[in-house]
Amino acid sequence: MRKGFTLIEILIVVAIIAILASVVVVGLGPTQQSGRDARRLSDLHSIQNALGVFYNKCGYYPGTIATGACSAAVPTTAAAYPATASSTIYGAVATNLVGAGIGINSMPQDPSAGASYRYTANAASAPTQYIVGATLENANNAAFTNYNAPASISGGGDAYACTVASKQYCLTL
């Protein structure tokens, strides 16, 4: 009477499990993209709220030149936020808003490693408008259905195009 399994039987079972697991992981790809895109859209609204808090205290949005009592939140150069992301003006604004003492404890981070949200303002000093954006992974995202990209502004941050073709979704004041 035989007890246990042979090495060949165990290897066949492990191979079948590996094939099934890879099929499941590949099938979850689009779902994971949609989840990250939904988080990006939610994060953009959270960023808008944080910028609104800054505006209510300071009377302007962060630019790139320090002015007045709120100068601690105004970046002088681009920075990474988090440290593993690319350097952007948003990274500098996020880092400085957290340390500005206006009641903001953390700023959202893009869920993809090495990626960052984008921020630009209409003036280097005391801006009155801004654009904040993210690169979505799915160009067919429902957010683009009735999307009208904001007019580009420049002067106080990262200049970039907010277009469906580039999968850039942006919000503005």
Please calculate the CA angle 154-102-93 and round it to the nearest 5 degrees. 30
* 3-state secondary structure (DSSP) of residue 81: coil
What is the domain partition of the chain in residue ranges? 35-172
pLDDT digits (tens, 9 = 90+) for 132-156: 888 888 878 888 778 777 777 766 5
Query: Per the structure block, which two tokens stand in for 162?
Result: 């907010």
Weakest mean pLDDT among 52-56, 71-75, 166-170? 71-75
Strands (E), the chain: 79-80, 87-88, 118-121, 130-135, 168-172
Pair 169, 44: CB distance under 8 Å = yes
Nearest to 76 by CA among 12, 125, 20, 18: 125
Percent of the residues in the chain that have a pLDDT greater than 90, as a whole number: 12
